[in-house]
């Protein structure tokens, strides 16, 4: 399968600005913490007269490796998002591909329908830039319905070019943070869907698959609307709609993305200011299957 034929991941291009703001917020908080640590250490040096270079170096908390891709998710949430989803089901980390082939079609909207349309209408070279960013892509753990393969996440360069094409003035250094964050959140969202679908019959045909996806941050779900306008809670900063295939039966899911648990006043963090993300994943109440799952969940069946 050529790079241009590879399916893209369920990433919302229209709301990448919101995700990027979250990533920058975490980096700013991290920088502030390190600055405070440096100031405290300098004061200690002046007070105690310690001028040992080795002592100074060892006293400052720094990343273990400068080549490690950062992800602004607190340790507790990261363990939940990448750990087991319950029972024998687990969230599988994306597998990195080795392809550096020419860039695939960029998605203008977060919709799997747009991907297919873009392929059929491809007549001009794909928009690209000369920015030096990794072109390796990761294969998600999310099976694509009827393809025999999984959805594929975009590379950092593809992500950057998509934002550039939308005139968003992206920063190339932000890609190493925002792309892994998107991948991680999508993996965790799929893990929650697997929990909903556990023992619902998908095992008979090898497991559930993702048929299509669409993101629309401007469209508020009924639950989010009620929580905000009736109970005064914050609105989610993003919303996705995923269609799952369960052995020929389509089940629609909606995902609300929050920067804090709905109803809580403060954004949770791991102590150094980095924000956490919370996903409200549930079947839609627009079908028999969706209603059945929600009722069974309510009664603990």
Domain ranges of the chain: 3-63+72-298
Which positions ≥6 away from 150 have C-beta within 8 Å? 139, 140, 141, 142, 143, 144
List per-residue pLDDT tens for the chain, 301 residues long: 555 455 555 555 556 667 666 666 656 655 665 565 555 554 444 333 333 333 223 322 323 333 333 333 333 433 433 343 343 434 455 665 545 433 332 333 454 554 444 444 444 445 556 788 999 999 999 999 999 999 999 999 998 888 888 777 888 898 998 889 889 999 999 999 999 999 999 999 999 999 999 988 889 999 999 999 999 999 998 999 999 999 999 999 999 999 877 666 555 555 545 557 899 999 999 999 999 999 999 998 8
Q: Compute CA 131 distance to the chain's CA centroid, rounded to the nearest angstrom.
A: 23
What string of H, E and C letters represents the secondary structure of 187-228? HHHHHHHHHHHCCCCHHHHCCCEEEEEEECCCCCCHHHHHHH
Structure tokens at 32: 């502030």
- The pLDDT score that the predictor gives to residue 6 is 55
> Is this prediction's pTM over 0.95?
no
Residues 6+ apart with CB under 8 A from 122: 4, 105
Cα 146 from Cα 141, distance rounded (Å) = 15
Predicted pLDDT at 169: 83
Answer for the pair 141, 150: CB distance below 8 angstroms, yes or no.
yes
pLDDT of residue 62: 28
Nearest by Cα to 207 from 247, 250, 253, 254: 247
pLDDT of residue 54: 31
CA atoms lying within 13 Å on the CB side of residue 286: 11
Residue for token digits 């309510």?
Answer: 298
């Amino acid at each position: 399968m050529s790079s241009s034929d590879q399916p893209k991941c369920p990433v919302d291009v229209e709301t990448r600005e919101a995700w990027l703001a979250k990533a920058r917020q975490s980096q700013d908080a991290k920088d502030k913490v390190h600055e405070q640590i440096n100031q405290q250490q300098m004061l200690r040096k002046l007070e105690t007269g310690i001028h040992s270079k080795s002592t100074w170096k060892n006293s400052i908390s720094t990343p273990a490796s400068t080549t490690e891709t950062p992800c602004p998710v607190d340790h507790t949430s990261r363990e939940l998002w990448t750990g087991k989803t319950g029972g024998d089901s687990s969230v599988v980390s994306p597998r990195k591909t080795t392809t550096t082939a020419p860039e695939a079609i960029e998605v203008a909207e977060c919709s799997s329908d747009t991907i297919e349309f873009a392929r059929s209408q491809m007549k001009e070279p794909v928009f690209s830039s000369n920015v030096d960013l990794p072109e390796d892509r990761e294969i998600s753990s999310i099976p694509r319905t009827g393809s025999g393969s999984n959805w594929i996440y975009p590379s950092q360069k593809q992500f950057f070019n998509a934002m550039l094409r939308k005139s968003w003035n992206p920063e190339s250094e932000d890609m190493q943070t925002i792309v892994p964050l998107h991948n991680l959140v999508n993996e965790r969202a799929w893990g929650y869907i697997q929990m909903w679908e556990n023992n619902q019959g998908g095992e008979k045909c090898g497991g559930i698959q993702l048929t299509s996806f669409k993101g629309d941050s401007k469209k508020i779900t009924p639950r989010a609307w009620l929580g905000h306008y009736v109970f005064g809670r914050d609105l989610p900063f993003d919303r996705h709609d995923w269609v799952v295939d369960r052995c020929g039966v389509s089940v629609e899911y909606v995902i609300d993305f929050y920067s804090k648990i709905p109803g809580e006043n403060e954004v949770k963090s791991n102590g150094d200011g980095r924000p956490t993300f919370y996903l409200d994943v549930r079947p839609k109440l627009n079908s028999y299957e969706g209603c059945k799952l929600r009722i069974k969940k309510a009664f603990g069946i």
